[in-house]
C-alpha cells in the first residue's frame, strides 16, 4: 500500500481528517494517525513537522469544501433571499441527523486548543469564518438587503450558535429556531 510521497501525504492527511473530526484533535495522537494511514510514525514526520503542522493542514484542506457546502446550502433555494438564508439553517437540521456530523471543524479546533493557543489554527479558522461572512455580505447586498455587513455578522452569530446548541442538546429543532430569527432579521432589512 506504499505510494509515492504525494500519495502518502494525502493518505496521512485523510486519516488525520477522519480522526480529528470524529474524535477531536486533542483525543487523537500521531500514533493513531500513522496507524490509520498505514505508515510509520517516522514516515508521518517526513511529511509533517508535527501534530500542529498536521492540524493546520487538516483545517486548510477543510476550508474550501466546507465553504462550498455552506454556499450551496444558501443557493439551493429558488426563493428569495429570506428563503435562501432559511435554507442554510435547515441544512444544519438535516446534517444533525447524520451520526457522523460533529459541527464546525474550525470552531471545534479553536475551542479544543484554547488552553494551548495555536496561532496557525486561530488564523485558519478566522480566515474561514471571515470568508463566509464576506460572501454572505456580498450575497445580501446583491439582494438589496440594507446594512449587509452587519446582517452577515449577525447571521454568523446565529450560525455558530445554532450549531453549538444542536451539538449540546442533540436537538436539531434549534435550527428551526435560528432559521426563524435569521429570516426575521433579513426581512426587516429588505426594501419596501
Q: What is the pLDDT along the chain (192 residues), one digit of tens a residue?
A: 455 689 999 999 999 999 999 999 999 999 999 999 999 999 999 999 999 999 999 999 999 999 999 999 999 988 999 999 999 999 999 999 999 999 999 999 999 998 876 789 999 999 999 999 999 999 999 999 999 999 999 999 999 999 999 999 999 999 999 999 999 999 999 998
Domains contained in the chain, number: 2
Regarding whether 151 and 183 lie in a shared domain, the answer is yes
Termini Cα distance of the chain: 63
- Dist. CA 42–CA 5, nearest whole Å: 13
Same-domain status, 183 and 118: yes
CATH number, domain containing residue 135: 1.10.357.10
In a domain, 54, yes or no: no
What CATH number did the domain enclosing 28 receive?
1.10.10.60
Is this prediction's pTM over 0.75? yes
Closest by Cα among 85, 87, 82, 77 to 188: 82
Q: How far apart are CA 179 and CA 110, in angstroms?
A: 25
Are 21 and 78 contained in the same domain? no
Shared domain for 96 and 124, answered yes or no, is yes
Q: In the Cβ-directed half-sphere of 86, how many Cα atoms lie within 13 Å? A: 13
Q: 118: alpha, beta or left, given left = phi > 0 and alpha = psi -120 to 50? A: beta
Q: Residue 34 belongs to what domain range?
A: 1-48
Amino acid at each position: 500500500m506504499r505510494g509515492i510521497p504525494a500519495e502518502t501525504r494525502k493518505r496521512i492527511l485523510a486519516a488525520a481528517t477522519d480522526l480529528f473530526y470524529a474524535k477531536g484533535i486533542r483525543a487523537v495522537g500521531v500514533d493513531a494517525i500513522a496507524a490509520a494511514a498505514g505508515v510509520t510514525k517516522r514516515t508521518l514526520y517526513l511529511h509533517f513537522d508535527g501534530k500542529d503542522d498536521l492540524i493546520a493542514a487538516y483545517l486548510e484542506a477543510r476550508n474550501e469544501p466546507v465553504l462550498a457546502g455552506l454556499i450551496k446550502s444558501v443557493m439551493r433555494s429558488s426563493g428569495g433571499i429570506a428563503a435562501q438564508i432559511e435554507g442554510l439553517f435547515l441544512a444544519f437540521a438535516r446534517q444533525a441527523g447524520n451520526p457522523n456530523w460533529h459541527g464546525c471543524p474550525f470552531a471545534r479546533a479553536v475551542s479544543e486548543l484554547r488552553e494551548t493557543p495555536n496561532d496557525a489554527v486561530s488564523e485558519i479558522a478566522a480566515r474561514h469564518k471571515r470568508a463566509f461572512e464576506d460572501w454572505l455580505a456580498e450575497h445580501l447586498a446583491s439582494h438589496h438587503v440594507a446594512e449587509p455587513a452587519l446582517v452577515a455578522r449577525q447571521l454568523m452569530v446565529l450560525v455558530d450558535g445554532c450549531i453549538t446548541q444542536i451539538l449540546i442538546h442533540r436537538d436539531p429543532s434549534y435550527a428551526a429556531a435560528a432559521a426563524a430569527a435569521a429570516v426575521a432579521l433579513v426581512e426587516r432589512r429588505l426594501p419596501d
